[in-house]
A and B are shown apart, each in its own frame.
Chain A
Amino acid sequence: MKKILIIDDEAEIRNIFKEVLEEEGYTVSTAMNGDKGMEILKQDPFDVIILDKKMPFQSGPDFIRNAKPFLGNAKILLVSGSPSVENDCEIAGFLPKPCSIDVLVETVKKLTS
Protein backbone atom coordinates (compact mmCIF):
# COMPACT_ATOMS: atom_id res chain seq x y z
CA MET A 1 0.00 0.00 0.00
CA LYS A 2 1.83 3.04 -1.23
CA LYS A 3 1.60 6.17 0.90
CA ILE A 4 1.25 9.67 -0.43
CA LEU A 5 1.58 12.99 1.43
CA ILE A 6 0.00 16.08 -0.09
CA ILE A 7 1.23 19.48 1.13
CA ASP A 8 -0.76 22.42 -0.27
CA ASP A 9 -2.24 25.52 1.37
CA GLU A 10 -5.44 25.25 -0.72
CA ALA A 11 -8.00 22.97 1.01
CA GLU A 12 -10.02 22.03 -2.07
CA ILE A 13 -6.87 20.98 -3.91
CA ARG A 14 -5.89 18.70 -1.02
CA ASN A 15 -9.44 17.27 -1.06
CA ILE A 16 -9.74 16.50 -4.76
CA PHE A 17 -6.19 15.11 -5.07
CA LYS A 18 -6.87 12.90 -2.05
CA GLU A 19 -10.15 11.59 -3.50
CA VAL A 20 -8.59 10.90 -6.90
CA LEU A 21 -5.57 9.08 -5.49
CA GLU A 22 -7.56 7.10 -2.93
CA GLU A 23 -9.73 5.86 -5.78
CA GLU A 24 -6.51 4.55 -7.36
CA GLY A 25 -5.73 2.59 -4.22
CA TYR A 26 -3.23 4.83 -2.48
CA THR A 27 -3.20 5.82 1.20
CA VAL A 28 -3.24 9.58 1.36
CA SER A 29 -2.43 12.06 4.13
CA THR A 30 -2.61 15.83 3.77
CA ALA A 31 -1.05 18.89 5.39
CA MET A 32 -1.81 22.57 4.89
CA ASN A 33 1.75 23.80 5.27
CA GLY A 34 5.36 22.71 5.51
CA ASP A 35 5.50 22.60 9.33
CA LYS A 36 2.46 20.33 9.62
CA GLY A 37 3.87 18.24 6.82
CA MET A 38 7.13 17.84 8.68
CA GLU A 39 5.31 16.65 11.82
CA ILE A 40 3.58 13.94 9.77
CA LEU A 41 6.85 12.93 8.13
CA LYS A 42 8.54 12.52 11.50
CA GLN A 43 5.93 9.91 12.46
CA ASP A 44 5.69 7.86 9.23
CA PRO A 45 7.65 7.24 6.08
CA PHE A 46 6.00 8.12 2.75
CA ASP A 47 6.58 6.99 -0.82
CA VAL A 48 5.60 10.17 -2.62
CA ILE A 49 5.26 13.77 -1.44
CA ILE A 50 3.17 16.07 -3.63
CA LEU A 51 4.37 19.55 -2.78
CA ASP A 52 3.06 22.95 -3.87
CA LYS A 53 5.88 25.28 -4.94
CA LYS A 54 4.36 28.59 -3.89
CA MET A 55 2.96 28.62 -0.38
CA PRO A 56 2.79 31.41 2.19
CA PHE A 57 5.36 31.20 5.04
CA GLN A 58 7.39 28.34 3.57
CA SER A 59 7.78 27.61 -0.12
CA GLY A 60 8.09 24.12 -1.56
CA PRO A 61 11.85 24.29 -2.14
CA ASP A 62 12.39 25.70 1.39
CA PHE A 63 10.43 22.80 2.84
CA ILE A 64 12.60 20.30 0.97
CA ARG A 65 15.70 21.85 2.49
CA ASN A 66 14.29 21.97 6.03
CA ALA A 67 12.74 18.50 5.95
CA LYS A 68 15.79 16.76 4.49
CA PRO A 69 16.54 14.56 7.53
CA PHE A 70 12.98 13.27 7.57
CA LEU A 71 12.41 12.61 3.88
CA GLY A 72 13.69 9.06 3.84
CA ASN A 73 13.08 7.46 0.45
CA ALA A 74 10.16 9.69 -0.38
CA LYS A 75 10.05 10.90 -3.97
CA ILE A 76 9.08 14.56 -4.37
CA LEU A 77 6.66 15.90 -6.97
CA LEU A 78 6.77 19.68 -7.18
CA VAL A 79 3.56 21.36 -8.34
CA SER A 80 4.06 24.68 -10.08
CA GLY A 81 2.15 27.14 -12.26
CA SER A 82 5.32 28.50 -13.77
CA PRO A 83 7.84 25.83 -14.63
CA SER A 84 11.22 27.38 -14.15
CA VAL A 85 14.39 25.45 -14.40
CA GLU A 86 15.47 25.16 -10.79
CA ASN A 87 17.55 22.06 -10.94
CA ASP A 88 17.04 20.62 -7.52
CA CYS A 89 18.16 17.04 -7.74
CA GLU A 90 15.93 16.33 -4.78
CA ILE A 91 12.89 16.53 -7.02
CA ALA A 92 11.69 13.41 -8.75
CA GLY A 93 9.29 15.25 -11.03
CA PHE A 94 7.14 18.28 -11.81
CA LEU A 95 3.38 18.59 -11.98
CA PRO A 96 1.95 21.56 -13.84
CA LYS A 97 -0.72 23.67 -12.21
CA PRO A 98 -3.37 23.16 -13.21
CA CYS A 99 -2.96 19.53 -14.24
CA SER A 100 -5.42 16.92 -15.41
CA ILE A 101 -6.21 14.21 -12.91
CA ASP A 102 -5.01 11.74 -15.54
CA VAL A 103 -1.61 13.40 -15.54
CA LEU A 104 -1.57 13.39 -11.74
CA VAL A 105 -2.38 9.67 -11.58
CA GLU A 106 0.04 8.68 -14.35
CA THR A 107 2.90 10.60 -12.79
CA VAL A 108 2.33 9.14 -9.34
CA LYS A 109 2.04 5.61 -10.81
CA LYS A 110 5.38 6.04 -12.56
CA LEU A 111 7.05 7.07 -9.33
CA THR A 112 5.62 4.19 -7.34
CA SER A 113 6.25 1.36 -9.77
Chain B
Amino acid sequence: MLCHEHTIAHSLKETLNQFLDIEKRCELIGRARDITQIVESLITIAQQILPFKTYAFYLIDQEKGDYHLRYAQQLDSKHKAIIQSHFDRGIIDQIMSEKRASVIPDFELTETNQNPTTGFIIVPLLAASHKMGFLEIWPISIQNICEKKQLPMLELLARQASIAIENTLLYQKLTETHELLKQSQEQTVHAEKMAAVGVLASGVAHEINNPLQIILARVQFQNRRSHGTEVDTTLKLVEKEAFRISNIVGSILRYAQNQNRQDIQMARIEAIIDDALLLTHAQLAAHQIQVDRCFANDLPEVMVNSGQIEQVLLNLIENARHSMKKGGILYVRTLKKEHEIQIEIEDTGYGIPKEYIGRIFDPFFTTKAPSEGTGLGLFLSYGIMQRHHGNIQVESTVGKGTKFVLQIPLQPPSPNEENTHH
Protein backbone atom coordinates (compact mmCIF):
# COMPACT_ATOMS: atom_id res chain seq x y z
CA MET B 1 0.00 0.00 0.00
CA LEU B 2 2.63 2.37 1.07
CA CYS B 3 4.71 1.49 -1.92
CA HIS B 4 1.82 2.32 -4.29
CA GLU B 5 1.17 5.71 -2.69
CA HIS B 6 4.85 6.43 -2.88
CA THR B 7 4.82 5.66 -6.59
CA ILE B 8 1.86 8.00 -7.16
CA ALA B 9 3.49 10.79 -5.13
CA HIS B 10 6.72 10.33 -7.01
CA SER B 11 4.93 10.34 -10.35
CA LEU B 12 3.04 13.54 -9.45
CA LYS B 13 6.22 15.24 -8.33
CA GLU B 14 7.94 14.27 -11.54
CA THR B 15 5.08 15.62 -13.63
CA LEU B 16 5.04 18.86 -11.68
CA ASN B 17 8.77 19.26 -12.22
CA GLN B 18 8.30 18.67 -15.90
CA PHE B 19 5.67 21.39 -16.07
CA LEU B 20 7.86 23.84 -14.19
CA ASP B 21 10.71 22.94 -16.45
CA ILE B 22 8.60 23.65 -19.54
CA GLU B 23 7.49 26.96 -18.14
CA LYS B 24 11.10 27.97 -17.54
CA ARG B 25 12.12 27.05 -21.06
CA CYS B 26 9.28 29.19 -22.31
CA GLU B 27 11.30 32.22 -21.27
CA LEU B 28 13.28 31.54 -24.44
CA ILE B 29 10.14 32.10 -26.44
CA GLY B 30 9.36 35.29 -24.63
CA ARG B 31 12.70 36.71 -25.64
CA ALA B 32 12.44 35.84 -29.33
CA ARG B 33 12.10 38.82 -31.67
CA ASP B 34 10.71 37.26 -34.80
CA ILE B 35 8.35 34.44 -35.72
CA THR B 36 11.10 32.14 -37.00
CA GLN B 37 12.89 32.28 -33.65
CA ILE B 38 9.64 31.67 -31.81
CA VAL B 39 8.85 28.61 -33.91
CA GLU B 40 12.40 27.26 -33.56
CA SER B 41 12.15 27.49 -29.78
CA LEU B 42 8.67 26.02 -29.87
CA ILE B 43 9.85 22.98 -31.83
CA THR B 44 12.96 22.48 -29.69
CA ILE B 45 10.99 22.47 -26.46
CA ALA B 46 8.17 20.38 -27.96
CA GLN B 47 10.70 17.74 -29.00
CA GLN B 48 11.79 17.52 -25.37
CA ILE B 49 8.19 16.89 -24.32
CA LEU B 50 7.72 14.12 -26.84
CA PRO B 51 10.17 13.11 -29.56
CA PHE B 52 9.29 13.73 -33.19
CA LYS B 53 10.98 14.50 -36.48
CA THR B 54 8.23 15.45 -38.87
CA TYR B 55 6.06 18.49 -38.22
CA ALA B 56 4.05 21.16 -40.01
CA PHE B 57 3.44 24.62 -38.58
CA TYR B 58 0.48 26.59 -39.95
CA LEU B 59 -0.14 30.27 -39.34
CA ILE B 60 -3.51 31.97 -39.92
CA ASP B 61 -3.56 35.16 -42.04
CA GLN B 62 -5.30 37.47 -39.57
CA GLU B 63 -6.96 39.49 -42.29
CA LYS B 64 -8.15 36.78 -44.64
CA GLY B 65 -8.64 34.02 -42.08
CA ASP B 66 -7.01 31.24 -44.11
CA TYR B 67 -4.21 28.86 -43.10
CA HIS B 68 -0.69 29.07 -44.52
CA LEU B 69 2.05 26.47 -44.09
CA ARG B 70 4.97 28.44 -42.72
CA TYR B 71 7.46 25.96 -41.31
CA ALA B 72 7.89 22.22 -41.74
CA GLN B 73 10.40 19.42 -41.48
CA GLN B 74 10.60 16.16 -43.40
CA LEU B 75 7.18 16.78 -44.88
CA ASP B 76 6.57 14.55 -47.86
CA SER B 77 3.54 14.15 -50.11
CA LYS B 78 2.06 11.48 -47.84
CA HIS B 79 2.15 13.85 -44.88
CA LYS B 80 0.69 16.67 -46.96
CA ALA B 81 -2.15 14.40 -48.04
CA ILE B 82 -2.86 13.56 -44.40
CA ILE B 83 -2.99 17.25 -43.45
CA GLN B 84 -5.27 17.98 -46.38
CA SER B 85 -7.62 15.20 -45.23
CA HIS B 86 -7.63 16.73 -41.74
CA PHE B 87 -8.74 20.03 -43.27
CA ASP B 88 -11.30 18.39 -45.53
CA ARG B 89 -12.86 16.33 -42.74
CA GLY B 90 -13.21 19.41 -40.52
CA ILE B 91 -10.84 18.00 -37.95
CA ILE B 92 -8.68 21.13 -37.87
CA ASP B 93 -11.70 23.39 -37.41
CA GLN B 94 -13.01 21.18 -34.63
CA ILE B 95 -9.72 21.15 -32.76
CA MET B 96 -9.36 24.91 -33.14
CA SER B 97 -12.79 25.51 -31.67
CA GLU B 98 -12.35 22.96 -28.86
CA LYS B 99 -9.03 24.62 -28.08
CA ARG B 100 -7.42 21.39 -26.86
CA ALA B 101 -4.36 19.58 -28.19
CA SER B 102 -5.58 16.32 -29.70
CA VAL B 103 -4.11 13.03 -30.73
CA ILE B 104 -5.46 11.24 -33.80
CA PRO B 105 -4.45 7.59 -33.89
CA ASP B 106 -3.42 6.26 -37.27
CA PHE B 107 -5.74 3.29 -37.65
CA GLU B 108 -4.54 2.59 -41.17
CA LEU B 109 -1.11 1.61 -39.98
CA THR B 110 -2.35 -0.36 -37.01
CA GLU B 111 -3.13 -4.01 -37.11
CA THR B 112 -6.55 -4.97 -35.93
CA ASN B 113 -7.09 -5.52 -32.25
CA GLN B 114 -3.93 -3.68 -31.42
CA ASN B 115 -3.71 -0.34 -29.65
CA PRO B 116 -2.44 2.20 -32.11
CA THR B 117 1.10 3.33 -31.41
CA THR B 118 1.40 5.79 -34.26
CA GLY B 119 -0.70 8.84 -35.03
CA PHE B 120 -0.73 12.56 -35.32
CA ILE B 121 -0.89 15.26 -32.72
CA ILE B 122 -2.52 18.58 -33.50
CA VAL B 123 -1.81 21.44 -31.14
CA PRO B 124 -3.85 24.62 -31.62
CA LEU B 125 -2.11 27.93 -31.10
CA LEU B 126 -4.41 30.43 -29.48
CA ALA B 127 -3.67 33.86 -28.06
CA ALA B 128 -6.21 35.48 -25.75
CA SER B 129 -8.49 36.72 -28.51
CA HIS B 130 -7.26 35.11 -31.71
CA LYS B 131 -6.63 31.81 -33.35
CA MET B 132 -3.01 32.09 -34.46
CA GLY B 133 -2.58 28.68 -36.17
CA PHE B 134 -1.69 25.10 -35.31
CA LEU B 135 1.18 22.64 -35.12
CA GLU B 136 0.78 19.14 -36.48
CA ILE B 137 3.29 16.62 -35.20
CA TRP B 138 4.20 13.09 -36.25
CA PRO B 139 5.57 11.68 -32.97
CA ILE B 140 7.75 8.62 -32.89
CA SER B 141 5.15 6.94 -30.70
CA ILE B 142 1.81 7.87 -29.18
CA GLN B 143 1.96 5.18 -26.51
CA ASN B 144 1.19 6.29 -22.97
CA ILE B 145 0.59 9.77 -24.17
CA CYS B 146 -2.11 10.36 -21.58
CA GLU B 147 -0.15 9.04 -18.65
CA LYS B 148 2.84 11.13 -19.51
CA LYS B 149 0.66 14.25 -19.57
CA GLN B 150 2.28 15.26 -22.83
CA LEU B 151 -0.79 16.97 -24.30
CA PRO B 152 -1.30 19.48 -21.46
CA MET B 153 2.40 20.28 -21.59
CA LEU B 154 2.18 20.92 -25.32
CA GLU B 155 -0.83 23.16 -24.67
CA LEU B 156 1.10 25.18 -22.11
CA LEU B 157 3.95 25.55 -24.59
CA ALA B 158 1.58 26.46 -27.41
CA ARG B 159 -0.08 29.16 -25.32
CA GLN B 160 3.26 30.86 -24.67
CA ALA B 161 4.23 30.66 -28.31
CA SER B 162 0.87 32.08 -29.44
CA ILE B 163 1.17 35.09 -27.18
CA ALA B 164 4.71 35.70 -28.40
CA ILE B 165 3.62 35.41 -32.05
CA GLU B 166 0.68 37.73 -31.51
CA ASN B 167 2.93 40.30 -29.89
CA THR B 168 5.44 40.06 -32.72
CA LEU B 169 2.73 40.57 -35.34
CA LEU B 170 1.28 43.52 -33.45
CA TYR B 171 4.73 45.06 -33.12
CA GLN B 172 5.33 44.67 -36.86
CA LYS B 173 1.98 46.30 -37.63
CA LEU B 174 2.78 49.13 -35.25
CA THR B 175 6.10 49.78 -36.95
CA GLU B 176 4.47 49.80 -40.39
CA THR B 177 1.72 52.17 -39.28
CA HIS B 178 4.28 54.46 -37.70
CA GLU B 179 6.22 54.58 -40.97
CA LEU B 180 3.11 55.42 -42.96
CA LEU B 181 2.16 58.12 -40.48
CA LYS B 182 5.62 59.63 -40.67
CA GLN B 183 5.49 59.69 -44.47
CA SER B 184 2.01 61.14 -44.39
CA GLN B 185 3.18 63.90 -42.08
CA GLU B 186 6.17 64.67 -44.28
CA GLN B 187 3.77 64.81 -47.18
CA THR B 188 1.48 67.29 -45.46
CA VAL B 189 4.39 69.52 -44.50
CA HIS B 190 5.63 69.45 -48.09
CA ALA B 191 2.18 70.25 -49.47
CA GLU B 192 1.86 73.17 -47.10
CA LYS B 193 5.26 74.43 -48.15
CA MET B 194 4.28 74.21 -51.80
CA ALA B 195 1.04 76.06 -51.09
CA ALA B 196 3.00 78.79 -49.32
CA VAL B 197 5.40 78.98 -52.26
CA GLY B 198 2.42 79.37 -54.55
CA VAL B 199 1.06 82.25 -52.52
CA LEU B 200 4.48 83.89 -52.39
CA ALA B 201 5.09 83.45 -56.10
CA SER B 202 1.73 84.95 -56.86
CA GLY B 203 2.37 87.95 -54.62
CA VAL B 204 5.83 88.56 -56.06
CA ALA B 205 4.53 88.31 -59.60
CA HIS B 206 1.89 90.93 -58.91
CA GLU B 207 4.40 93.25 -57.32
CA ILE B 208 6.75 92.94 -60.27
CA ASN B 209 4.07 93.87 -62.78
CA ASN B 210 3.91 97.54 -61.86
CA PRO B 211 7.60 98.43 -62.23
CA LEU B 212 7.71 96.22 -65.30
CA GLN B 213 4.84 98.15 -66.88
CA ILE B 214 6.62 101.42 -66.21
CA ILE B 215 9.92 100.23 -67.68
CA LEU B 216 8.27 98.74 -70.73
CA ALA B 217 6.05 101.71 -71.49
CA ARG B 218 8.80 104.30 -70.97
CA VAL B 219 11.22 102.37 -73.15
CA GLN B 220 8.67 102.03 -75.92
CA PHE B 221 7.66 105.68 -75.65
CA GLN B 222 11.27 106.79 -75.84
CA ASN B 223 11.88 104.45 -78.75
CA ARG B 224 9.40 106.37 -80.87
CA ARG B 225 11.69 109.40 -80.63
CA SER B 226 14.99 107.61 -81.08
CA HIS B 227 14.63 105.98 -84.47
CA GLY B 228 17.96 105.22 -86.11
CA THR B 229 20.04 106.41 -83.17
CA GLU B 230 22.36 104.43 -80.90
CA VAL B 231 19.81 104.80 -78.17
CA ASP B 232 17.37 102.96 -80.43
CA THR B 233 19.38 99.70 -80.33
CA THR B 234 19.76 99.84 -76.58
CA LEU B 235 16.11 100.61 -76.05
CA LYS B 236 15.04 97.78 -78.33
CA LEU B 237 17.17 95.39 -76.28
CA VAL B 238 15.75 96.67 -73.01
CA GLU B 239 12.25 96.31 -74.43
CA LYS B 240 12.98 92.72 -75.42
CA GLU B 241 14.27 91.87 -71.94
CA ALA B 242 11.25 93.55 -70.34
CA PHE B 243 8.96 91.33 -72.43
CA ARG B 244 10.97 88.34 -71.31
CA ILE B 245 10.40 89.20 -67.66
CA SER B 246 6.75 89.70 -68.47
CA ASN B 247 6.47 86.20 -69.94
CA ILE B 248 8.09 84.59 -66.93
CA VAL B 249 5.85 86.47 -64.55
CA GLY B 250 2.83 85.50 -66.64
CA SER B 251 3.80 81.83 -66.47
CA ILE B 252 4.19 81.96 -62.72
CA LEU B 253 0.83 83.66 -62.26
CA ARG B 254 -0.93 81.22 -64.56
CA TYR B 255 0.66 78.30 -62.75
CA ALA B 256 -0.34 79.62 -59.31
CA GLN B 257 -3.87 80.30 -60.51
CA ASN B 258 -4.33 77.01 -62.30
CA GLN B 259 -3.42 74.93 -59.28
CA ASN B 260 -6.68 75.98 -57.67
CA ARG B 261 -8.98 75.58 -60.60
CA GLN B 262 -11.07 72.49 -61.03
CA ASP B 263 -12.47 73.32 -64.44
CA ILE B 264 -11.74 71.49 -67.64
CA GLN B 265 -11.65 73.37 -70.92
CA MET B 266 -10.60 72.92 -74.51
CA ALA B 267 -6.97 74.01 -74.71
CA ARG B 268 -3.94 73.90 -76.95
CA ILE B 269 -1.42 71.55 -75.40
CA GLU B 270 1.48 73.47 -76.95
CA ALA B 271 0.66 76.51 -74.81
CA ILE B 272 0.73 74.45 -71.64
CA ILE B 273 4.00 72.76 -72.63
CA ASP B 274 5.62 76.09 -73.47
CA ASP B 275 4.53 77.51 -70.12
CA ALA B 276 6.16 74.60 -68.34
CA LEU B 277 9.34 74.97 -70.39
CA LEU B 278 9.43 78.66 -69.63
CA LEU B 279 9.18 78.05 -65.91
CA THR B 280 11.97 75.47 -65.99
CA HIS B 281 14.16 77.17 -68.58
CA ALA B 282 16.69 78.66 -66.18
CA GLN B 283 17.13 75.49 -64.14
CA LEU B 284 17.62 73.39 -67.26
CA ALA B 285 20.19 75.82 -68.64
CA ALA B 286 22.02 75.84 -65.32
CA HIS B 287 22.46 72.06 -65.57
CA GLN B 288 23.66 72.27 -69.19
CA ILE B 289 20.52 70.61 -70.46
CA GLN B 290 19.54 71.38 -74.02
CA VAL B 291 15.86 71.41 -74.89
CA ASP B 292 14.89 69.80 -78.21
CA ARG B 293 11.33 70.86 -78.95
CA CYS B 294 9.48 69.16 -81.76
CA PHE B 295 5.76 69.85 -82.09
CA ALA B 296 3.36 68.27 -84.56
CA ASN B 297 1.85 70.69 -87.07
CA ASP B 298 -1.83 70.07 -86.81
CA LEU B 299 -2.42 69.16 -83.21
CA PRO B 300 -6.06 69.71 -82.29
CA GLU B 301 -7.23 71.17 -78.99
CA VAL B 302 -8.15 68.78 -76.20
CA MET B 303 -10.32 68.89 -73.10
CA VAL B 304 -7.99 69.29 -70.15
CA ASN B 305 -7.49 70.91 -66.79
CA SER B 306 -4.51 73.03 -67.85
CA GLY B 307 -3.16 73.41 -64.35
CA GLN B 308 -3.05 69.70 -63.73
CA ILE B 309 -1.45 68.88 -67.08
CA GLU B 310 1.13 71.57 -66.39
CA GLN B 311 1.76 69.94 -63.01
CA VAL B 312 2.42 66.59 -64.73
CA LEU B 313 4.80 68.20 -67.24
CA LEU B 314 6.69 70.06 -64.53
CA ASN B 315 7.07 66.82 -62.60
CA LEU B 316 8.42 64.97 -65.65
CA ILE B 317 10.80 67.78 -66.58
CA GLU B 318 12.02 67.91 -62.98
CA ASN B 319 12.64 64.15 -62.97
CA ALA B 320 14.48 64.42 -66.28
CA ARG B 321 16.62 67.23 -64.94
CA HIS B 322 17.40 65.18 -61.86
CA SER B 323 18.64 62.31 -64.01
CA MET B 324 20.99 64.46 -66.06
CA LYS B 325 23.21 65.95 -63.40
CA LYS B 326 26.08 66.38 -65.84
CA GLY B 327 23.99 67.79 -68.64
CA GLY B 328 22.15 66.19 -71.54
CA ILE B 329 19.24 66.68 -73.87
CA LEU B 330 15.57 66.97 -73.01
CA TYR B 331 13.34 66.01 -75.94
CA VAL B 332 9.81 67.39 -75.88
CA ARG B 333 7.54 66.17 -78.65
CA THR B 334 3.87 66.24 -79.50
CA LEU B 335 2.33 63.71 -81.86
CA LYS B 336 -1.11 63.33 -83.34
CA LYS B 337 -2.52 59.81 -83.20
CA GLU B 338 -5.81 58.45 -84.42
CA HIS B 339 -7.76 58.74 -81.18
CA GLU B 340 -5.44 60.74 -78.99
CA ILE B 341 -2.60 63.21 -78.80
CA GLN B 342 0.71 62.11 -77.44
CA ILE B 343 3.29 64.11 -75.50
CA GLU B 344 6.77 62.65 -75.13
CA ILE B 345 9.27 63.78 -72.53
CA GLU B 346 12.58 62.03 -73.14
CA ASP B 347 15.96 62.50 -71.49
CA THR B 348 19.52 61.23 -71.92
CA GLY B 349 19.93 60.59 -68.22
CA TYR B 350 20.93 57.55 -66.24
CA GLY B 351 17.70 55.67 -66.75
CA ILE B 352 15.54 53.61 -64.37
CA PRO B 353 16.71 50.12 -63.33
CA LYS B 354 14.36 47.29 -64.39
CA GLU B 355 13.52 46.33 -60.82
CA TYR B 356 12.16 49.83 -60.09
CA ILE B 357 10.14 50.43 -63.26
CA GLY B 358 7.07 48.64 -61.93
CA ARG B 359 7.09 50.76 -58.79
CA ILE B 360 7.72 54.29 -60.00
CA PHE B 361 4.04 55.17 -59.95
CA ASP B 362 3.63 53.90 -56.39
CA PRO B 363 2.98 56.57 -53.77
CA PHE B 364 6.03 57.49 -51.71
CA PHE B 365 8.38 55.55 -54.01
CA THR B 366 11.44 57.67 -54.66
CA THR B 367 15.16 57.38 -55.12
CA LYS B 368 15.67 60.97 -54.04
CA ALA B 369 16.61 62.27 -50.60
CA PRO B 370 13.65 63.56 -48.50
CA SER B 371 14.57 67.19 -49.15
CA GLU B 372 14.64 66.60 -52.89
CA GLY B 373 11.29 64.98 -53.35
CA THR B 374 8.38 63.21 -51.73
CA GLY B 375 7.91 60.27 -54.05
CA LEU B 376 4.40 61.51 -54.86
CA GLY B 377 5.07 63.30 -58.17
CA LEU B 378 4.56 60.34 -60.48
CA PHE B 379 1.78 58.93 -58.32
CA LEU B 380 -0.16 62.21 -58.58
CA SER B 381 0.69 62.48 -62.28
CA TYR B 382 -0.70 59.01 -62.87
CA GLY B 383 -3.91 59.99 -61.11
CA ILE B 384 -4.21 63.17 -63.17
CA MET B 385 -3.81 61.27 -66.44
CA GLN B 386 -6.40 58.71 -65.32
CA ARG B 387 -8.89 61.46 -64.49
CA HIS B 388 -8.34 62.82 -68.01
CA HIS B 389 -9.15 59.34 -69.35
CA GLY B 390 -5.64 59.32 -70.72
CA ASN B 391 -2.50 57.46 -69.84
CA ILE B 392 1.13 57.81 -68.77
CA GLN B 393 3.73 55.23 -69.74
CA VAL B 394 7.47 54.88 -69.33
CA GLU B 395 10.31 53.30 -71.28
CA SER B 396 13.81 53.34 -69.91
CA THR B 397 17.29 51.96 -70.49
CA VAL B 398 19.91 52.26 -67.80
CA GLY B 399 22.80 54.34 -69.08
CA LYS B 400 20.81 55.68 -72.04
CA GLY B 401 17.79 57.54 -70.75
CA THR B 402 14.10 57.54 -69.99
CA LYS B 403 11.04 58.41 -72.04
CA PHE B 404 7.64 59.24 -70.62
CA VAL B 405 4.65 59.18 -72.94
CA LEU B 406 1.43 61.01 -72.05
CA GLN B 407 -1.75 60.26 -73.94
CA ILE B 408 -4.84 62.45 -73.95
CA PRO B 409 -7.93 61.33 -75.84
CA LEU B 410 -9.22 63.60 -78.61
CA GLN B 411 -12.85 62.95 -77.86
CA PRO B 412 -13.96 63.45 -74.30
CA PRO B 413 -15.84 60.32 -73.23
CA SER B 414 -19.65 60.29 -73.54
CA PRO B 415 -21.67 60.83 -70.33
CA ASN B 416 -22.30 57.04 -70.08
CA GLU B 417 -18.62 56.20 -70.11
CA GLU B 418 -18.05 58.97 -67.62
CA ASN B 419 -20.12 57.16 -65.00
CA THR B 420 -18.38 53.83 -65.19
CA HIS B 421 -14.86 55.12 -64.68
CA HIS B 422 -14.88 55.68 -60.93
- A3 at the B interface (CB under 8 A): no
- A102 at the B interface (CB under 8 A): yes
Residues of A within 8 A of B217 (CB): 13, 16-17, 20, 98, 100-101, 104
B210 to chain A, nearest CB (A): 5
Q: Do the beta carbons of B242 and A98 come within 8 Å of each other?
A: yes
Residues of B within 8 A of A81 (CB): 205-206, 209, 249, 253
- A109 at the B interface (CB under 8 A): no
- B220 at the A interface (CB under 8 A): yes
Per-residue contact bits, chain A 1-31, to B (CB 8 Å; 1 contact, 0 not): 0000000001011001101100000000000
- B121 at the A interface (CB under 8 A): no
When chains A and B are docked, how far (Å) is the Cα of A102 from the Cα of B219?
Answer: 12
Given A54-B206, A98-B242, A98-B246, CB of A12 within 8 Å of CB of B221: no
When chains A and B are docked, how far (Å) is the Cα of A78 from the Cα of B4?
Answer: 114
- A99 at the B interface (CB under 8 A): yes
Residues of B within 8 A of A82 (CB): 202, 205-206, 253-254, 257
Given A82-B253, A84-B257, CB of A99 within 8 Å of CB of B213: yes
A29 to chain B, nearest CB (A): 18
Size band of the B side of the interface?
10 to 19
Q: Do the beta carbons of B214 and A10 come within 8 Å of each other?
A: yes
- B218 at the A interface (CB under 8 A): yes
**B210, closest chain A residue (CB):** A10
Size band of the A side of the interface?
10 to 19
**A9, closest chain B residue (CB):** B210
Residues of B within 8 A of A42 (CB): none
Residues of B within 8 A of A36 (CB): none
- B212 at the A interface (CB under 8 A): yes
Cross-chain contact of B216 among A10, A19, A98 (Cβ < 8 A): A98
What is the interface of chain B mostly: helix, strand, loop, or mixed?
helix
Residues of A within 8 A of B202 (CB): 82
When chains A and B are docked, how far (Å) is the Cα of A58 from the Cα of B205?
Answer: 20
B50 to chain A, nearest CB (A): 82
Please provide the chain A residues from 82 to 110 with a CB less than 8 Å away from any CB of chain B in the complex.
Answer: 82, 84, 97-102, 104
Can you spell out 25 A-B residue pairs with CB atoms less than 8 angstroms apart?
A10-B213, A12-B218, A13-B210, A16-B214, A16-B221, A20-B217, A20-B221, A81-B205, A81-B206, A81-B253, A82-B205, A82-B254, A97-B209, A97-B210, A98-B213, A98-B216, A98-B242, A98-B246, A99-B213, A100-B217, A100-B220, A101-B217, A101-B221, A102-B220, A104-B217
Residues of A within 8 A of B209 (CB): 81, 97-98
Residues of B within 8 A of A54 (CB): 206
When chains A and B are docked, how far (Å) is the Cα of A10 from the Cα of B253?
Answer: 20
When chains A and B are docked, how far (Å) is the Cα of A99 from the Cα of B221?
Answer: 12
B200 to chain A, nearest CB (A): 15
When chains A and B are docked, how far (Å) is the Cα of A95 from the Cα of B209?
Answer: 13
A95 to chain B, nearest CB (A): 10
Residues of B within 8 A of A101 (CB): 217, 220-221
When chains A and B are docked, how far (Å) is the Cα of A73 from the Cα of B246?
Answer: 33
B249 to chain A, nearest CB (A): 7
When chains A and B are docked, how far (Å) is the Cα of A19 from the Cα of B209?
Answer: 20
Per-residue contact bits, chain A 37-61, to B (CB 8 Å; 1 contact, 0 not): 0000000000000000010000000
Residues of A within 8 A of B210 (CB): 10, 13, 97
The 8 closest A-B pairs by CB, nearest first: A98-B213, A81-B209, A16-B217, A12-B214, A82-B253, A97-B209, A98-B212, A101-B220
When chains A and B are docked, how far (Å) is the Cα of A10 from the Cα of B249?
Answer: 19
**A102, closest chain B residue (CB):** B220
**B263, closest chain A residue (CB):** A85
When chains A and B are docked, how far (Å) is the Cα of A104 from the Cα of B221?
Answer: 12
When chains A and B are docked, how far (Å) is the Cα of A19 from the Cα of B224?
Answer: 13
